[in-house]
Structure 1
Amino acid sequence: MRSASRVCALLLAVAGAASTGACGGADPIAEASSPAAPTKAAEPRLQLAARAAAAQDLRQVAQYAFRANGRPQRTVVVTLAADDTWRVDVQGGALGGTVDIALVRTGGKTYHCALASTAYPTPGCVEVTKMSKTFDPLVWHLFTDWLTAFTDRDMPLVVSKANSILGTTGTCFSVDSSTVSVTSPVDAGIYCYADDGTLTAAKVSFGTLALVAPPAAGPPTVTLPAAVVPGKPLPIASPSPSPSPSASGSLKPSPKPSA
């Protein structure tokens, strides 16, 4: 679980060996005059790092309302277990919104699972080593690898305070890549966190997310919702329609020219 010493160490790392007075044991007067103390411009970056560090230690089940690309509101459920396994359920995450999916990390592996439903009665989980954009629902990054980017002082991020979004609580940060970055390690947008690290809202390129209720305690572990099967994960988009005969009757042989 999260400890004050870990968060404090994180703050010092992001600040670049800044004041240690807040962690105890140093002279606060000498520290206050130190040229290495963080500036006000760095404060949002430090605050975001502290909340991301706390988020990495959360063990909870949280439900979110997810809106994306003009589609009807969907539900995302994030399960963070005591043994560091996790699961992110995305309603309508595959085949054009017709199939619910879950991203699961367990046993040191990541799985993309199609969940059983009336529309899709053949559930199954496929192990993935690289999340292709063809089947990546993206939202799971908010609770996994992007937290690592927020806590890494070497990541090329520009962070500033932002107004709250979606009527949610929490402290909000505007995050973008720095001008020297070629590709951003995270999606540019607005991220809002409670003091304990719970994500309360996010507004990013692929949609908006808002916490709908206080999180519940996480389980001891998560398990796969279906058997592991061979093949590829279901794509996000709907399957292409089958080709049909053209209006000119191209499936019929052309008549022979007259003599």
Structure 2
Amino acid sequence: MPTGVHLHAARRRPTVLLALAVPLLLATSVSLAGCTSEEPPTEPPEPAGGSPTPARADGARDDLAALAAAAQDRHLTARYTLTAEDGSTRTIIVTSANDGSWRVDVPGWALGGTVDVALVSTAEGFFQCALPSATRPGPAGCVRLGDPDDTIPRRLDPRVQHPFTDWLDVLTDRQAPLAVSVSRPLPGATGTCYSVESTSASLNPPLDVGIYCYDTDGTPTAVRTALGTLRLAGPPGPAPATVQLAGPVTEGEPVEAAAPTPGESGTEPTTTP
């Protein structure tokens, strides 16, 4: 064969090899692509910063509900200092008995701040008792306001008893329209504090918004609402078996918060049955 023929054949050989290699590479790529498409997609990375805000809010709500439930089972005798917005203070005595009865003593609340009262709830009913004091030297007398679970009229309501009684039911109710978050501790309060806001536009919210603080055993250690700030004044004492009324039950009228107008003697429970 002439030399020119060999040279021409040699020049065609790379072109033929390339033509054969291209289909092979394409087939291999298709095969690899098919294998890759069967693998599960990679999960997107979690956002930095931990759980989203709703999870943290739900956690605070659950924690507060658990502490409020413990407070319902916490029977004690305790003294609290109530500091009003004007800086005035008074000592509130809270008694939660082992049988479920309770009593809250509120000095200087009725008749324009001249009469001390106690609210008492027992199996026999819900009572208001007018207590002896420097401005009221007479004996104590009590008036029945209704059944143990009845709502107290606003004009007769000191409101300081609610954080230890019916507001605990609201705090344990996951359906109540509340927004809860962990709060900076109130000065002098132990345990954990929670900011509680109402998410309802109702004119009569289920409780007063504010800050509620509880120790790990459910003891309320501080509460700040529009009424003022309640702080536990010392270690709680043991609970009695039941609470006692401050005096005999009478047929008189309960005392109100407002002072009587000039010419009126005011309304006080008498001591005669």
Where do 1:1-259 residues align within 5 Å? 39-70=55-86, 72-120=88-136, 121-129=138-146, 130-179=151-200, 183-242=204-263
In structure 1, the gaps of 5 or more residues are 1-37, 244-259
SS of the equivalent of 2:71 reads helix
Give a deviation string over 1:107-163, Cα, whole Å, max 9, x none: 241101101123211421111134111120001011000000000111111111111
In 2: Cα distance, 1:138 partner to 1:195 partner: 25
Q: Deviations over 1:75-111 (max 9, x none)?
A: 0010011111111111112112211111111124110
CA distance in 1, matches of 2:110, 2:159: 12
CA distance in 2: counterparts of 1:92 and 1:112, whole angstroms: 14
Whole-Å separation in 2 of the counterparts to 1:185 and 1:91:
25
CA root-mean-square deviation? 1.7
User: Which has the larger Rg?
Assistant: 2
- What is the Cα deviation at residue 183 of structure 1? 3.5
Question: 1:184 offset after TM fit, Å?
Answer: 1.6
Alpha-carbon shift at residue 242 of structure 1 (Å): 3.1
Contact 1:156–1:181 (8 Å) recurs in 2: no
Where in structure 2 are there 5+ consecutive unaligned residues?
1-53, 265-273
Q: Which amino acid aligns with 2:196?
A: V
Matched residue of 1:39: which SS?
A: helix
* TM-score under structure 1 length normalisation: 0.75
Q: Could you tell me how far 1:241 is from its partner in structure 2?
A: 2.2
2:29 aligns with none
Counterpart Cα distance in 2 of 1:101 and 1:216: 21
Count of residues in correspondence between the two structures: 206
CA distance in 1 between counterparts of 2:163 and 2:187 reads: 17
Aligned equivalent of 1:5: none
Residue identity in the other structure for 1:147: L
SS in 1 for 2:127: strand
The verdict on how the C-alpha distance between 1:231 and 1:194 changes in structure 2, with shifts beyond 3 A counting, is: same
Cα deviation 1:220-255 (Å, max 9, x = unaligned): 111101111113211112222239xxxxxxxxxxxx
Q: What amino acid is the match of 1:148? A: D
Higher mean alpha-carbon deviation, 127-136 vs 213-222, is at 127-136
- Looking at structure 1, the residues matched to 153 and 200 of structure 2 have their Cα atoms a distance apart, in angstroms, of 26
Query: Alpha-carbon deviation of 1:40?
Result: 1.9
Percent of aligned positions that are identical: 48
2:24 is matched with none
Greater share of helix: 2
Q: How many angstroms does 1:167 deviate by? A: 2.2
Change in CA separation of 1:108 and 1:151 when aligned onto 2, cut-off 3 Å:
farther
